[in-house]
Structure 1
Protein backbone atom coordinates (compact mmCIF):
# COMPACT_ATOMS: atom_id res chain seq x y z
CA UNK A 1 0.00 0.00 0.00
CA UNK A 2 1.31 3.45 -0.88
CA UNK A 3 2.01 5.66 2.13
CA UNK A 4 -0.08 8.83 2.27
CA UNK A 5 1.69 12.17 2.58
CA UNK A 6 0.13 15.36 3.90
CA UNK A 7 1.36 18.92 3.75
CA UNK A 8 0.81 20.46 7.19
CA UNK A 9 0.98 24.22 7.77
CA UNK A 10 1.21 26.21 11.00
CA UNK A 11 0.39 29.82 10.05
CA UNK A 12 1.71 32.24 12.65
CA UNK A 13 2.09 35.99 12.77
CA UNK A 14 5.83 35.90 12.09
CA UNK A 15 6.42 32.60 10.29
CA UNK A 16 4.64 29.79 8.50
CA UNK A 17 6.03 26.42 9.54
CA UNK A 18 5.39 23.53 7.18
CA UNK A 19 5.99 19.80 7.15
CA UNK A 20 5.29 16.69 5.16
CA UNK A 21 3.87 14.04 7.50
CA UNK A 22 2.55 10.52 7.20
CA UNK A 23 -0.70 9.40 8.88
CA UNK A 24 1.20 8.57 12.09
CA UNK A 25 2.59 12.15 12.25
CA UNK A 26 6.15 11.16 11.36
CA UNK A 27 7.98 14.26 10.13
CA UNK A 28 9.38 13.49 6.68
CA UNK A 29 10.28 17.05 5.73
CA UNK A 30 10.19 20.31 7.67
CA UNK A 31 10.76 23.99 6.91
CA UNK A 32 9.40 27.49 7.33
CA UNK A 33 9.09 30.84 5.59
CA UNK A 34 8.40 34.35 6.88
CA UNK A 35 4.70 35.18 7.01
CA UNK A 36 3.98 37.75 4.28
CA UNK A 37 2.71 40.95 5.88
CA UNK A 38 1.22 42.44 2.73
CA UNK A 39 -1.54 40.45 1.07
CA UNK A 40 -3.14 37.07 0.50
CA UNK A 41 -1.65 37.05 -3.00
CA UNK A 42 1.84 37.22 -1.52
CA UNK A 43 0.94 34.39 0.86
CA UNK A 44 -0.09 32.20 -2.08
CA UNK A 45 3.12 33.03 -3.97
CA UNK A 46 5.21 31.93 -0.99
CA UNK A 47 3.15 28.76 -0.53
CA UNK A 48 3.28 28.00 -4.27
CA UNK A 49 7.06 27.64 -4.03
CA UNK A 50 6.73 25.19 -1.14
CA UNK A 51 4.05 23.08 -2.83
CA UNK A 52 5.91 23.01 -6.14
CA UNK A 53 9.16 21.89 -4.48
CA UNK A 54 7.53 19.23 -2.31
CA UNK A 55 5.53 17.79 -5.19
CA UNK A 56 8.84 16.93 -6.88
CA UNK A 57 9.37 14.33 -4.15
CA UNK A 58 5.98 13.54 -2.57
CA UNK A 59 2.47 12.83 -3.78
CA UNK A 60 0.43 15.05 -1.48
CA UNK A 61 -2.95 13.78 -0.28
CA UNK A 62 -4.21 16.93 1.42
CA UNK A 63 -3.30 20.08 3.32
CA UNK A 64 -3.84 20.35 7.08
CA UNK A 65 -3.67 23.85 8.55
CA UNK A 66 -3.17 25.27 12.03
CA UNK A 67 -3.75 29.02 12.14
CA UNK A 68 -4.34 31.95 14.45
CA UNK A 69 -7.88 33.34 14.59
CA UNK A 70 -11.38 32.01 15.22
CA UNK A 71 -11.67 29.19 12.69
CA UNK A 72 -14.95 27.89 11.32
CA UNK A 73 -13.91 24.32 10.54
CA UNK A 74 -17.00 23.67 8.44
CA UNK A 75 -16.88 26.72 6.18
CA UNK A 76 -13.10 27.12 6.02
CA UNK A 77 -13.33 30.80 6.99
CA UNK A 78 -11.08 32.36 9.65
CA UNK A 79 -12.90 34.95 11.76
CA UNK A 80 -11.56 37.23 14.48
CA UNK A 81 -8.33 39.19 14.17
CA UNK A 82 -4.62 38.46 14.08
CA UNK A 83 -1.26 39.83 12.95
CA UNK A 84 -2.19 38.73 9.39
CA UNK A 85 -5.41 40.62 8.53
CA UNK A 86 -5.62 39.16 5.03
CA UNK A 87 -6.32 35.61 6.28
CA UNK A 88 -9.64 36.68 7.80
CA UNK A 89 -12.61 36.35 5.47
CA UNK A 90 -11.51 34.16 2.52
CA UNK A 91 -12.67 30.55 2.27
CA UNK A 92 -9.38 28.69 2.56
CA UNK A 93 -10.86 25.28 1.79
CA UNK A 94 -12.21 26.45 -1.56
CA UNK A 95 -9.14 28.50 -2.46
CA UNK A 96 -6.73 25.65 -1.73
CA UNK A 97 -8.83 23.19 -3.69
CA UNK A 98 -8.96 25.54 -6.68
CA UNK A 99 -5.24 26.31 -6.54
CA UNK A 100 -3.72 22.91 -5.75
CA UNK A 101 -6.57 20.41 -6.35
CA UNK A 102 -6.14 19.24 -2.75
CA UNK A 103 -8.57 18.83 0.13
CA UNK A 104 -7.85 21.14 3.07
CA UNK A 105 -8.93 21.24 6.70
CA UNK A 106 -8.08 24.03 9.12
CA UNK A 107 -8.32 24.61 12.84
CA UNK A 108 -7.26 27.22 15.39
CA UNK A 109 -3.66 26.84 16.58
CA UNK A 110 -4.47 26.40 20.28
CA UNK A 111 -7.12 23.82 19.38
CA UNK A 112 -4.50 22.03 17.27
CA UNK A 113 -2.11 21.97 20.22
CA UNK A 114 -4.89 20.45 22.35
CA UNK A 115 -5.58 17.82 19.70
CA UNK A 116 -1.88 16.93 19.60
CA UNK A 117 -1.96 16.31 23.35
CA UNK A 118 -5.10 14.17 22.97
CA UNK A 119 -3.46 12.11 20.23
CA UNK A 120 0.11 11.74 21.39
CA UNK A 121 0.67 13.80 24.53
CA UNK A 122 -0.44 14.57 28.08
CA UNK A 123 -4.16 14.04 27.41
CA UNK A 124 -4.06 10.59 25.80
CA UNK A 125 -6.08 9.18 28.71
CA UNK A 126 -8.26 12.26 29.25
CA UNK A 127 -11.86 12.87 28.20
CA UNK A 128 -12.12 16.40 29.64
CA UNK A 129 -9.22 18.82 29.63
CA UNK A 130 -8.22 22.40 29.04
CA UNK A 131 -5.11 23.62 27.28
CA UNK A 132 -3.70 26.99 28.36
CA UNK A 133 -1.04 28.39 26.02
CA UNK A 134 1.15 31.01 27.68
CA UNK A 135 3.01 33.24 25.24
CA UNK A 136 2.75 36.84 24.08
CA UNK A 137 -0.87 36.48 25.13
CA UNK A 138 -2.85 33.63 26.68
CA UNK A 139 -4.96 31.37 24.51
CA UNK A 140 -6.25 27.89 24.88
CA UNK A 141 -8.82 25.25 24.15
CA UNK A 142 -11.56 23.33 25.94
CA UNK A 143 -11.93 19.60 25.26
CA UNK A 144 -15.01 17.61 26.28
CA UNK A 145 -15.52 13.94 25.43
CA UNK A 146 -12.26 14.20 23.43
CA UNK A 147 -13.76 16.85 21.15
CA UNK A 148 -12.73 20.51 20.98
CA UNK A 149 -15.55 22.76 22.19
CA UNK A 150 -15.42 25.81 19.94
CA UNK A 151 -18.26 27.72 21.58
CA UNK A 152 -21.14 29.63 20.00
CA UNK A 153 -18.93 32.45 18.68
CA UNK A 154 -15.87 30.20 18.07
CA UNK A 155 -14.11 31.71 21.09
CA UNK A 156 -14.13 28.71 23.43
CA UNK A 157 -10.87 28.58 25.38
CA UNK A 158 -9.92 32.24 24.88
CA UNK A 159 -8.86 32.45 28.52
CA UNK A 160 -6.70 35.51 27.92
CA UNK A 161 -9.81 37.70 27.72
CA UNK A 162 -10.76 36.96 31.34
CA UNK A 163 -10.71 40.11 33.45
CA UNK A 164 -8.05 39.56 36.09
CA UNK A 165 -8.22 42.92 37.86
CA UNK A 166 -8.33 46.66 37.38
CA UNK A 167 -5.71 49.39 37.03
CA UNK A 168 -6.56 53.09 37.15
CA UNK A 169 -10.24 52.20 36.91
CA UNK A 170 -9.80 50.16 33.73
CA UNK A 171 -10.11 46.36 33.36
CA UNK A 172 -6.91 44.33 33.03
CA UNK A 173 -7.07 40.95 31.32
CA UNK A 174 -5.46 37.64 32.20
CA UNK A 175 -3.18 38.08 29.17
CA UNK A 176 -2.18 41.52 30.46
CA UNK A 177 -0.99 40.05 33.76
CA UNK A 178 -0.06 36.39 33.27
CA UNK A 179 1.41 36.05 29.76
CA UNK A 180 5.16 35.91 29.24
CA UNK A 181 4.79 39.31 27.55
CA UNK A 182 3.32 40.65 30.80
CA UNK A 183 6.19 39.17 32.81
CA UNK A 184 8.72 40.84 30.50
CA UNK A 185 6.94 44.21 30.57
CA UNK A 186 6.64 44.27 34.37
CA UNK A 187 10.26 43.15 34.75
CA UNK A 188 11.43 45.85 32.32
CA UNK A 189 9.52 48.50 34.25
CA UNK A 190 11.08 47.25 37.49
CA UNK A 191 14.58 47.33 36.00
CA UNK A 192 13.93 50.58 34.09
CA UNK A 193 15.04 49.05 30.78
CA UNK A 194 13.50 48.71 27.32
CA UNK A 195 11.17 45.66 27.20
CA UNK A 196 12.69 44.80 23.82
CA UNK A 197 15.97 44.10 25.61
CA UNK A 198 14.39 41.22 27.56
CA UNK A 199 12.54 37.97 26.97
CA UNK A 200 11.02 35.52 29.42
CA UNK A 201 14.14 33.40 29.71
CA UNK A 202 16.29 36.46 30.40
CA UNK A 203 13.97 37.48 33.26
CA UNK A 204 14.17 34.07 34.94
CA UNK A 205 17.93 33.85 34.35
CA UNK A 206 18.57 37.27 35.89
CA UNK A 207 16.57 36.35 38.99
CA UNK A 208 18.46 33.06 39.35
CA UNK A 209 21.74 34.95 39.03
CA UNK A 210 20.86 37.08 42.02
CA UNK A 211 18.88 40.12 40.84
CA UNK A 212 16.63 40.42 43.89
CA UNK A 213 14.45 43.05 42.20
CA UNK A 214 12.96 40.38 39.96
CA UNK A 215 12.07 37.83 42.65
CA UNK A 216 8.77 39.51 43.69
CA UNK A 217 7.92 40.18 40.03
CA UNK A 218 8.19 36.49 39.16
CA UNK A 219 6.46 35.46 42.36
CA UNK A 220 3.47 37.70 41.60
CA UNK A 221 3.40 36.36 38.03
CA UNK A 222 3.21 32.77 39.33
CA UNK A 223 0.41 33.74 41.69
CA UNK A 224 -1.64 35.52 39.03
CA UNK A 225 -1.26 32.54 36.70
CA UNK A 226 -2.28 30.15 39.49
CA UNK A 227 -5.39 32.24 40.25
CA UNK A 228 -6.42 32.10 36.59
CA UNK A 229 -5.93 28.32 36.49
CA UNK A 230 -7.96 28.00 39.69
CA UNK A 231 -10.78 29.98 38.04
CA UNK A 232 -10.64 27.83 34.91
CA UNK A 233 -10.93 24.70 37.07
CA UNK A 234 -14.08 25.95 38.76
CA UNK A 235 -15.68 27.28 35.57
CA UNK A 236 -15.07 24.23 33.36
CA UNK A 237 -14.11 21.42 35.78
CA UNK A 238 -11.63 19.56 33.55
CA UNK A 239 -9.73 16.43 34.55
CA UNK A 240 -6.47 18.14 33.65
CA UNK A 241 -5.22 21.60 32.74
CA UNK A 242 -2.31 21.31 30.29
CA UNK A 243 0.11 24.22 30.00
CA UNK A 244 1.80 25.11 26.72
CA UNK A 245 4.09 27.80 25.38
CA UNK A 246 7.84 28.11 25.78
CA UNK A 247 7.59 28.77 29.52
CA UNK A 248 5.97 25.34 29.99
CA UNK A 249 9.38 23.80 29.26
CA UNK A 250 10.75 25.21 32.54
CA UNK A 251 11.19 22.20 34.84
CA UNK A 252 10.18 24.14 37.96
CA UNK A 253 7.00 25.74 36.54
CA UNK A 254 4.54 23.20 37.95
CA UNK A 255 6.25 23.21 41.35
CA UNK A 256 5.78 26.97 41.74
CA UNK A 257 2.21 26.95 40.43
CA UNK A 258 1.27 24.08 42.73
CA UNK A 259 2.80 25.97 45.65
CA UNK A 260 0.48 28.89 44.96
CA UNK A 261 -2.47 26.57 44.41
CA UNK A 262 -1.73 25.13 47.87
CA UNK A 263 -2.09 28.64 49.28
CA UNK A 264 -5.34 29.24 47.43
CA UNK A 265 -6.83 25.92 48.53
CA UNK A 266 -5.90 26.69 52.14
CA UNK A 267 -7.34 30.21 51.96
CA UNK A 268 -10.64 28.97 50.47
CA UNK A 269 -11.55 25.89 52.54
CA UNK A 270 -14.83 25.35 50.68
CA UNK A 271 -12.84 24.73 47.49
CA UNK A 272 -11.83 21.09 47.55
CA UNK A 273 -11.35 20.37 43.85
CA UNK A 274 -7.70 20.91 43.12
CA UNK A 275 -6.57 21.74 39.57
CA UNK A 276 -4.45 18.92 38.16
CA UNK A 277 -1.68 20.47 36.07
CA UNK A 278 0.46 18.98 33.32
CA UNK A 279 2.68 20.39 30.58
CA UNK A 280 2.55 19.81 26.84
CA UNK A 281 4.54 16.84 25.56
CA UNK A 282 4.29 17.52 21.83
CA UNK A 283 6.67 20.51 22.06
CA UNK A 284 7.27 22.88 19.18
CA UNK A 285 5.57 20.55 16.70
CA UNK A 286 2.27 20.43 18.61
CA UNK A 287 0.38 22.67 16.17
CA UNK A 288 1.54 20.60 13.19
CA UNK A 289 0.68 17.30 14.87
CA UNK A 290 -2.74 18.56 15.96
CA UNK A 291 -3.53 19.98 12.52
CA UNK A 292 -2.85 16.58 10.97
CA UNK A 293 -4.98 14.82 13.61
CA UNK A 294 -7.80 17.28 12.87
CA UNK A 295 -7.49 16.59 9.12
CA UNK A 296 -7.61 12.83 9.63
CA UNK A 297 -10.63 13.12 11.94
CA UNK A 298 -12.54 15.32 9.50
CA UNK A 299 -11.72 13.13 6.51
CA UNK A 300 -12.44 9.81 8.24
Structure 2
Protein backbone atom coordinates (compact mmCIF):
# COMPACT_ATOMS: atom_id res chain seq x y z
CA UNK A 1 0.00 0.00 0.00
CA UNK A 2 1.13 3.57 -0.65
CA UNK A 3 0.00 7.17 -0.34
CA UNK A 4 -0.14 9.59 -3.26
CA UNK A 5 1.05 13.02 -2.10
CA UNK A 6 0.78 16.38 -3.84
CA UNK A 7 2.54 19.64 -3.04
CA UNK A 8 0.59 22.30 -4.92
CA UNK A 9 2.34 25.58 -5.60
CA UNK A 10 1.56 28.61 -7.70
CA UNK A 11 3.94 27.46 -10.45
CA UNK A 12 4.28 23.69 -10.15
CA UNK A 13 2.54 20.68 -8.65
CA UNK A 14 4.98 18.20 -7.14
CA UNK A 15 3.70 14.68 -6.70
CA UNK A 16 5.06 11.48 -5.20
CA UNK A 17 4.14 7.91 -4.40
CA UNK A 18 5.23 7.17 -0.83
CA UNK A 19 5.06 3.72 0.71
CA UNK A 20 3.54 3.01 4.11
CA UNK A 21 7.12 2.61 5.34
CA UNK A 22 7.95 6.16 4.25
CA UNK A 23 9.95 5.41 1.11
CA UNK A 24 9.48 7.72 -1.88
CA UNK A 25 8.96 5.23 -4.70
CA UNK A 26 8.35 7.73 -7.46
CA UNK A 27 8.14 11.49 -7.86
CA UNK A 28 7.65 14.16 -10.47
CA UNK A 29 6.21 17.60 -11.18
CA UNK A 30 3.87 19.27 -13.61
CA UNK A 31 2.86 22.91 -14.19
CA UNK A 32 0.02 24.14 -11.99
CA UNK A 33 -3.21 24.54 -13.94
CA UNK A 34 -4.33 28.16 -13.62
CA UNK A 35 -7.23 28.07 -16.07
CA UNK A 36 -10.02 26.17 -14.29
CA UNK A 37 -10.72 23.93 -11.32
CA UNK A 38 -12.07 21.23 -13.63
CA UNK A 39 -8.78 21.01 -15.52
CA UNK A 40 -6.83 21.20 -12.26
CA UNK A 41 -8.72 18.26 -10.74
CA UNK A 42 -8.33 16.34 -13.99
CA UNK A 43 -4.54 16.57 -13.66
CA UNK A 44 -4.64 15.20 -10.09
CA UNK A 45 -6.97 12.39 -11.09
CA UNK A 46 -4.69 11.39 -13.96
CA UNK A 47 -1.63 11.23 -11.68
CA UNK A 48 -3.48 9.15 -9.09
CA UNK A 49 -4.82 6.77 -11.76
CA UNK A 50 -1.30 6.27 -13.09
CA UNK A 51 -0.13 5.27 -9.63
CA UNK A 52 -3.17 3.01 -9.14
CA UNK A 53 -1.99 1.00 -12.12
CA UNK A 54 1.27 0.29 -10.30
CA UNK A 55 0.26 -0.39 -6.70
CA UNK A 56 -2.57 -0.35 -4.16
CA UNK A 57 -3.33 3.17 -2.87
CA UNK A 58 -4.36 3.76 0.75
CA UNK A 59 -4.96 7.51 0.53
CA UNK A 60 -4.13 10.93 -0.89
CA UNK A 61 -2.38 13.77 0.95
CA UNK A 62 -2.42 17.30 -0.43
CA UNK A 63 -0.39 20.35 0.61
CA UNK A 64 -1.71 23.65 -0.73
CA UNK A 65 -1.18 27.35 0.00
CA UNK A 66 -3.87 29.49 1.57
CA UNK A 67 -6.48 29.14 4.29
CA UNK A 68 -7.73 25.56 4.38
CA UNK A 69 -10.53 23.92 6.35
CA UNK A 70 -8.71 20.62 6.83
CA UNK A 71 -11.83 18.92 8.21
CA UNK A 72 -13.89 19.38 5.06
CA UNK A 73 -11.17 19.92 2.46
CA UNK A 74 -12.47 23.39 1.59
CA UNK A 75 -9.90 25.90 0.34
CA UNK A 76 -11.07 29.27 1.61
CA UNK A 77 -8.13 30.89 -0.18
CA UNK A 78 -5.41 29.23 -2.27
CA UNK A 79 -2.55 31.68 -2.64
CA UNK A 80 -2.07 32.67 -6.28
CA UNK A 81 -4.31 29.88 -7.61
CA UNK A 82 -7.41 32.04 -7.90
CA UNK A 83 -9.79 29.43 -9.35
CA UNK A 84 -9.36 27.28 -6.23
CA UNK A 85 -10.77 29.90 -3.85
CA UNK A 86 -13.82 28.52 -2.04
CA UNK A 87 -13.51 25.12 -3.68
CA UNK A 88 -13.62 21.72 -2.00
CA UNK A 89 -10.75 19.68 -3.41
CA UNK A 90 -11.50 16.73 -1.15
CA UNK A 91 -15.10 16.54 -2.33
CA UNK A 92 -14.14 16.93 -5.99
CA UNK A 93 -11.55 14.14 -5.78
CA UNK A 94 -13.94 11.95 -3.79
CA UNK A 95 -16.15 11.85 -6.86
CA UNK A 96 -13.40 9.73 -8.44
CA UNK A 97 -11.88 7.83 -5.48
CA UNK A 98 -13.21 6.19 -2.32
CA UNK A 99 -10.10 6.17 -0.11
CA UNK A 100 -9.18 8.87 2.46
CA UNK A 101 -8.13 12.29 1.16
CA UNK A 102 -6.55 14.94 3.36
CA UNK A 103 -6.07 18.57 2.28
CA UNK A 104 -3.81 20.76 4.39
CA UNK A 105 -2.21 24.21 4.38
CA UNK A 106 1.36 24.09 3.05
CA UNK A 107 2.99 25.81 6.06
CA UNK A 108 1.34 23.33 8.43
CA UNK A 109 2.58 20.51 6.22
CA UNK A 110 6.10 21.95 6.39
CA UNK A 111 5.90 22.24 10.18
CA UNK A 112 4.73 18.64 10.58
CA UNK A 113 7.58 17.51 8.30
CA UNK A 114 10.11 19.36 10.47
CA UNK A 115 8.62 17.94 13.67
CA UNK A 116 8.50 14.41 12.27
CA UNK A 117 12.08 14.12 11.07
CA UNK A 118 13.54 17.58 10.49
CA UNK A 119 14.83 20.61 12.39
CA UNK A 120 12.16 20.32 15.11
CA UNK A 121 12.18 16.56 15.64
CA UNK A 122 11.28 15.68 19.23
CA UNK A 123 9.98 19.16 20.09
CA UNK A 124 6.46 20.01 21.22
CA UNK A 125 6.19 23.81 21.02
CA UNK A 126 7.41 25.01 17.65
CA UNK A 127 6.69 27.87 15.27
CA UNK A 128 7.53 27.73 11.57
CA UNK A 129 7.75 30.92 9.54
CA UNK A 130 8.05 30.76 5.77
CA UNK A 131 9.64 33.63 3.86
CA UNK A 132 8.55 33.73 0.26
CA UNK A 133 6.33 35.80 -2.01
CA UNK A 134 4.46 36.40 1.22
CA UNK A 135 5.06 35.50 4.85
CA UNK A 136 3.33 32.37 6.12
CA UNK A 137 3.57 30.18 9.16
CA UNK A 138 2.28 27.46 11.41
CA UNK A 139 2.24 26.80 15.17
CA UNK A 140 2.43 23.66 17.27
CA UNK A 141 1.66 23.66 21.01
CA UNK A 142 2.05 20.54 23.14
CA UNK A 143 2.74 18.63 19.94
CA UNK A 144 -0.57 19.63 18.35
CA UNK A 145 -1.01 21.88 15.32
CA UNK A 146 -3.05 24.98 16.16
CA UNK A 147 -5.65 26.12 13.63
CA UNK A 148 -7.76 28.87 15.21
CA UNK A 149 -11.48 29.38 14.83
CA UNK A 150 -11.25 30.25 11.10
CA UNK A 151 -8.11 28.23 10.27
CA UNK A 152 -6.10 31.47 10.11
CA UNK A 153 -3.54 30.84 12.86
CA UNK A 154 -0.04 31.45 11.55
CA UNK A 155 -0.91 34.27 9.15
CA UNK A 156 2.19 36.14 10.32
CA UNK A 157 2.32 38.13 7.09
CA UNK A 158 -0.55 40.28 8.37
CA UNK A 159 1.50 41.66 11.27
CA UNK A 160 1.99 45.43 11.11
CA UNK A 161 5.60 46.26 11.87
CA UNK A 162 6.09 49.98 11.26
CA UNK A 163 2.99 52.03 12.05
CA UNK A 164 4.93 55.30 12.03
CA UNK A 165 6.38 55.03 8.52
CA UNK A 166 4.03 52.46 6.94
CA UNK A 167 0.64 52.78 8.70
CA UNK A 168 -1.03 50.11 6.58
CA UNK A 169 2.06 48.09 5.68
CA UNK A 170 2.02 44.43 6.68
CA UNK A 171 4.87 41.98 7.08
CA UNK A 172 4.04 40.72 3.60
CA UNK A 173 4.84 44.16 2.20
CA UNK A 174 7.92 44.80 4.34
CA UNK A 175 9.68 41.48 5.03
CA UNK A 176 8.79 39.01 2.26
CA UNK A 177 11.17 38.13 -0.56
CA UNK A 178 8.88 39.96 -2.95
CA UNK A 179 9.27 43.07 -0.76
CA UNK A 180 13.05 42.73 -0.91
CA UNK A 181 12.99 42.30 -4.68
CA UNK A 182 10.65 45.27 -5.14
CA UNK A 183 12.93 47.53 -3.08
CA UNK A 184 15.97 46.29 -4.98
CA UNK A 185 14.40 47.04 -8.37
CA UNK A 186 13.46 50.54 -7.22
CA UNK A 187 16.96 51.18 -5.87
CA UNK A 188 18.60 49.90 -9.08
CA UNK A 189 16.07 51.56 -11.43
CA UNK A 190 15.12 48.22 -12.94
CA UNK A 191 11.91 47.56 -14.82
CA UNK A 192 9.23 45.88 -12.66
CA UNK A 193 9.23 42.94 -15.08
CA UNK A 194 12.97 42.29 -14.58
CA UNK A 195 13.62 38.85 -13.08
CA UNK A 196 15.60 39.08 -9.83
CA UNK A 197 16.51 36.26 -7.43
CA UNK A 198 16.28 37.34 -3.77
CA UNK A 199 19.08 34.94 -2.80
CA UNK A 200 21.41 36.74 -5.22
CA UNK A 201 20.50 40.10 -3.68
CA UNK A 202 21.83 38.86 -0.35
CA UNK A 203 25.01 37.60 -2.02
CA UNK A 204 25.57 41.11 -3.38
CA UNK A 205 25.82 42.79 0.03
CA UNK A 206 29.53 42.01 0.33
CA UNK A 207 30.46 44.35 -2.52
CA UNK A 208 27.51 46.74 -3.00
CA UNK A 209 26.97 49.30 -0.22
CA UNK A 210 23.52 50.34 -1.43
CA UNK A 211 22.41 46.72 -1.54
CA UNK A 212 23.83 46.11 1.94
CA UNK A 213 21.79 49.04 3.31
CA UNK A 214 18.65 47.82 1.56
CA UNK A 215 19.07 44.26 2.90
CA UNK A 216 19.79 45.61 6.40
CA UNK A 217 16.46 47.45 6.41
CA UNK A 218 14.70 44.32 5.17
CA UNK A 219 16.36 42.16 7.85
CA UNK A 220 15.31 44.72 10.48
CA UNK A 221 11.67 44.17 9.56
CA UNK A 222 12.12 40.41 9.38
CA UNK A 223 13.77 40.33 12.82
CA UNK A 224 10.94 42.41 14.26
CA UNK A 225 8.45 39.82 13.06
CA UNK A 226 10.52 36.94 14.46
CA UNK A 227 10.83 38.72 17.81
CA UNK A 228 7.05 39.26 17.94
CA UNK A 229 6.55 35.54 17.33
CA UNK A 230 9.03 34.60 20.07
CA UNK A 231 7.41 36.99 22.55
CA UNK A 232 3.89 35.85 21.66
CA UNK A 233 4.34 32.07 21.68
CA UNK A 234 7.52 31.35 23.70
CA UNK A 235 8.36 28.34 21.50
CA UNK A 236 11.19 25.87 21.97
CA UNK A 237 12.33 26.71 18.46
CA UNK A 238 11.44 28.92 15.50
CA UNK A 239 12.09 27.22 12.17
CA UNK A 240 12.67 29.49 9.18
CA UNK A 241 11.54 28.12 5.82
CA UNK A 242 11.07 29.35 2.29
CA UNK A 243 13.46 29.33 -0.63
CA UNK A 244 15.61 32.18 0.64
CA UNK A 245 16.37 30.27 3.85
CA UNK A 246 18.79 28.16 1.78
CA UNK A 247 21.12 31.19 1.57
CA UNK A 248 23.66 30.62 4.35
CA UNK A 249 24.01 34.35 4.99
CA UNK A 250 20.38 34.79 6.02
CA UNK A 251 20.35 33.16 9.46
CA UNK A 252 23.54 34.86 10.77
CA UNK A 253 22.20 38.25 9.68
CA UNK A 254 18.85 37.56 11.33
CA UNK A 255 20.46 36.42 14.59
CA UNK A 256 22.77 39.45 14.65
CA UNK A 257 19.80 41.80 14.22
CA UNK A 258 17.88 40.00 16.98
CA UNK A 259 20.85 40.31 19.35
CA UNK A 260 20.72 44.08 18.86
CA UNK A 261 17.16 44.08 20.23
CA UNK A 262 17.41 45.00 23.95
CA UNK A 263 14.44 42.73 24.73
CA UNK A 264 15.69 39.66 22.89
CA UNK A 265 17.43 38.11 25.90
CA UNK A 266 14.09 38.01 27.73
CA UNK A 267 12.39 36.02 24.96
CA UNK A 268 15.33 34.38 23.24
CA UNK A 269 14.77 30.96 21.70
CA UNK A 270 16.51 28.66 19.24
CA UNK A 271 16.20 29.63 15.59
CA UNK A 272 17.11 27.26 12.79
CA UNK A 273 16.54 27.06 9.06
CA UNK A 274 14.26 24.30 7.85
CA UNK A 275 15.83 20.91 7.17
CA UNK A 276 13.42 20.13 4.35
CA UNK A 277 13.38 22.54 1.44
CA UNK A 278 11.53 21.60 -1.75
CA UNK A 279 10.35 18.32 -0.23
CA UNK A 280 8.58 19.88 2.77
CA UNK A 281 5.08 19.87 1.28
CA UNK A 282 5.24 16.27 0.11
CA UNK A 283 6.70 15.05 3.39
CA UNK A 284 4.18 17.03 5.42
CA UNK A 285 1.26 15.72 3.37
CA UNK A 286 2.54 12.20 4.02
CA UNK A 287 3.17 12.89 7.70
CA UNK A 288 -0.41 14.02 8.30
CA UNK A 289 -1.46 10.49 7.33
CA UNK A 290 1.06 8.85 9.63
CA UNK A 291 1.42 11.41 12.43
CA UNK A 292 0.25 8.99 15.10
CA UNK A 293 3.32 6.88 14.44
CA UNK A 294 5.63 9.80 13.50
CA UNK A 295 7.45 7.69 10.92
CA UNK A 296 10.62 9.02 9.36
CA UNK A 297 10.52 9.38 5.61
CA UNK A 298 13.36 7.89 3.58
CA UNK A 299 14.55 10.44 1.01
Same fold per TM (> 0.5)? Answer: yes
Change (3 A) 1:257 1:153: same
1:199 to 197, 202, 213: 197
Name stretches of at least 5 consecutive residues in structure 2 with no aligned partner: 295-299
Provide the C-alpha distance between the structure 2 equivalents of 1:175 and 1:205, rounded to a whole number of angstroms: 22
Partner deviation per Cα, 1:52-93 (whole Å, 9 max, x = no partner): 322222221110010112111111211135322332333332
Provide the C-alpha distance between the structure 2 equivalents of 1:42 and 1:299, rounded to a whole number of angstroms: 35
Deviation (angstroms), 1:283: 1.8
2:237 maps to 1:240? yes
CA RMSD of the aligned region, Å? 2.0
Provide the C-alpha distance between the structure 1 equivalents of 2:43 and 2:187, rounded to a whole number of angstroms: 42
User: What TM-score do you get using the length of structure 1 for normalisation?
Assistant: 0.91
SS of the aligned residue for 2:279 comes to helix
Deviation (angstroms), 1:164: 1.3
2:91 to 75, 94, 109: 94
Provide the C-alpha distance between the structure 1 equivalents of 2:45 and 2:89, rounded to a whole number of angstroms: 14
Provide the C-alpha distance between the structure 1 equivalents of 2:209 and 2:249, rounded to a whole number of angstroms: 18
The aligned counterpart of 2:184 is 187
Provide the C-alpha distance between the structure 2 equivalents of 1:260 and 1:140, rounded to a whole number of angstroms: 21
Change (3 A) 1:127 1:186: same
Instruction: Kindly indicate whether the alpha-carbon contact (under 8 Å) linking 1:18 and 1:30 is maintained by their aligned counterparts in 2.
Output: yes
Provide the C-alpha distance between the structure 1 equivalents of 2:92 and 2:222, rounded to a whole number of angstroms: 40
1:28 to 22, 25, 28: 25
SS of the aligned residue for 1:278 comes to strand
Provide the C-alpha distance between the structure 1 equivalents of 2:176 and 2:187, rounded to a whole number of angstroms: 17
Instruction: Kindly indicate whether the alpha-carbon contact (under 8 Å) linking 1:120 and 1:282 is maintained by their aligned counterparts in 2.
Output: no
Instruction: Kindly indicate whether the alpha-carbon contact (under 8 Å) linking 2:181 and 2:198 is maintained by their aligned counterparts in 1.
Output: yes
Q: Which structure dedicates a bigger proportion of its chain to helix?
A: 1
The aligned counterpart of 2:130 is 133
User: What TM-score do you get using the length of structure 2 for normalisation?
Assistant: 0.92
The aligned counterpart of 1:110 is 107
Alignment coverage as a number of residue pairs: 293
Partner deviation per Cα, 1:182-219 (whole Å, 9 max, x = no partner): 111111111111243312022123333x2221010111
Instruction: Kindly indicate whether the alpha-carbon contact (under 8 Å) linking 1:240 and 1:275 is maintained by their aligned counterparts in 2.
Output: yes
